[in-house]
Structures are given as C-alpha cells and as structure tokens.
Amino acid sequence: MGFLELHNISLSFGGIVALSQVSLSVESGRLFAIIGPNGAGKTSLLNCISGFYCPQEGGIKFDGRELVGLRPDQVARLGVARTFQNVELFGRLSVIDNMLLGRHNHFRDGFFKNILLGYLAEQETVNRTKVEEIIDFLEMEKWRKHIVANLPYGVQKRVELGRALAQEPKILLLDEPMAGMNLEETEDMARFILDIHQELGVTIVLIEHDMDVVMDISQRVCVLDFGQKIAEGTPEEVQRDHAVQNAYLGENYETMIKGELRS
C-alpha cells in the first residue's frame, strides 16, 4: 500500500476523455515522475489529486485518507502542496507575503488574536523565521521584498516552489517546474528539487517534459498517453519500453530526448 494511491481514476469532460482507468502507487520518500505528450492528462491527474477536478470513477488515497470529494483547501490541509504549470501566485504581493500565505495553516492564532495583536503576535515571528529559512534554502534573498508580478518567470516559478515548501507538505506535486526556463535556471531548479527530496525527505510527484531532467533525477517514472497509463518503472526500464517509444512520435527515442519540447 503506497503513500499516495490512485485506483482506477477516470475523468472526462463531455466527450473528451482526459483520464481512463489510471492507477498509480507512490511510496513514501520517492521522487516519482509522470511524463507524457501534450494533452496526455498529466495536469488533469494532479487536479484530481488536489481536489480541483472530481474524477467520475475511482478513488485516491493519501496517507490512508480518501481525497476524492474533498475541496482543494481540505486536501492542502492534509499535507499536499502543489505548483502549477502556469504559475499561480499572488502577483500584487511581495515574495515574503506569498510565502507567509503558504504557512496559512501553520498559524495557531485565530481571528480575535489577529486583530488584537497584529504583527506583534509571536506566531508572526515564528512563521516569518520559517519563511526566511526557505528563502535562504532556495537562494531568493535578493528578491525577498520584491512584488512577485515584477519578477522574471523563472524566479516566479521558484517563489511558487517556495510557497509550496512553506506549507511543510508531506507530498509535493510539481507541474512542469522547469517549463519556460533557460538552461541555468533549469539546473538550479533540478538541484532544488533534489535537495528538497534528499535533505527534507519530502515525497515528490514531478511532471516534466524535459526528458534529461526526468531521467536524471527521478527514481520511478510513469508514462501517460491519451489519458491512459502505458508504462511504469525505473527511468531505464521506461526508456527501453516500446509502447513509450511509440507514444513519443512513434519513432526512435533519440528524437524523444532531443526533440521533445525543450520549449
């Protein structure tokens, strides 16, 4: 029994089948990658886990709890954090405020303590300290007080990762964290993801188009195509899999590494 367990998930929008009968099992402490061509259903899968979509069939168990039917904020409170393919940040707020918002459910004070004490509350300092640690960890010191909307895209992705980390999640769902980044930013991001996995011991589910990265850092890979799971295994096993090679352009898999959407 895995830490995160998807059992025969099916999801369709009108006539479009986004996911059909997908089962997955992610063990605790794993760095688990999900790959697949455009429109394969990867983002839909994460949306089912984090409560934005409700699958028509199947169940999702996390840490022994059923997730299907919960609201996104309830899922988040169980220790599931998430980043998005197109960054979802609070653009008008500073980096620090974005990350403090990530700690929303770690504050213990209620409304009345809030209005009586304001920023003088001890909880503010405690959580602020935590946020500063994460800012150091992700090497974002120089942007601490910047308004997020004014930051370059690559940095915004890092802030979003930071906000997810601030939640102190048990599992981290990352939807294409390197998309739209240059080589250097991609390398930084890969390093951070590995650090989070190894130093902090967080279980990670990673969606990524960049094959080099996936093969480098993940321990287990699952391949989706047209909403179906076509392969799962170690990176080497998956690379050798014929179904996978066919899914990717149906040609040799050299093309897959070189050509596959280094966009």
Ligand X SMILES: Nc1ncnc2c1ncn2[C@@H]1O[C@H](COP(=O)(O)OP(=O)(O)OP(=O)(O)O)[C@@H](O)[C@H]1O
122 binds, among another protein, Mg ion, ligand X, none (CB under 5 to 8 A by kind): none
Q: How far is the CB of 96 from another protein (least distance, A)?
A: 9
117 counts as binding ligand X under rule CB under 6 A:
no
90 counts as binding another protein under rule CB under 8 A:
yes
- Residue in 155, 170, 103 with CA at minimum distance from that of residue 130: 103
12 counts as binding Mg ion under rule CB under 5 A:
no
100 counts as binding another protein under rule CB under 8 A:
yes
* Distance of alpha carbon 71 from alpha carbon 7, whole angstroms: 19
Task: Tell me which stretch binds another protein (CB under 8 A): 18-26, 29-37, 110-118, 247-255.
Answer: 110-118
15 counts as binding ligand X under rule CB under 6 A:
no
57 counts as binding another protein under rule CB under 8 A:
no
Round to the nearest angstrom and report the end-to-end CA distance of the chain.
37
Query: Which tokens in the block code for residue 218?
Result: 């993940």
- Order across the sheet with 220-225: list the strands: 80-83, 171-175, 203-207, 31-35, 220-225, 228-233
Q: How far is the CB of 37 from ligand X (least distance, A)?
A: 7
121 counts as binding another protein under rule CB under 8 A:
yes
Task: Tell me which stretch binds another protein (CB under 8 A): 55-63, 109-117, 185-193, 197-205.
Answer: 109-117
Q: For residue 179, what is the DSSP state?
A: T
* Residue nearest Mg ion, Cβ-based: 43
Q: For residue 146, what is the DSSP state?
A: S
139 counts as binding another protein under rule CB under 8 A:
no
The answer to whether 192 touches 136, Cβ cutoff 8 Å, is no
Residues 6+ apart with CB under 8 A from 201: 29
Between β-strands 16-26 and 65-66, what pairing exists: parallel, antiparallel or unpaired?
Answer: unpaired
159 counts as binding another protein under rule CB under 8 A:
no
- Residue in 172, 135, 140, 136 with CA at minimum distance from that of residue 155: 140
Q: Which is nearer to another protein, 101 or 257 (CB)?
A: 101
- DSSP lists the bridge partners of residue 26 as 4
Q: Scanning the structure block, which residue is given the tokens 């602020």?
A: 128
Under the rule (CB under 6 A), what is the footprint of ligand X? Answer: 13, 16, 18, 36, 38-44, 85
Under the rule (CB under 8 A), what is the footprint of another protein? Answer: 50-52, 71-73, 76-77, 81-82, 84, 88-93, 97, 100-102, 104-105, 107, 109, 111, 114-121, 123-125, 128-129, 132-133, 163, 167
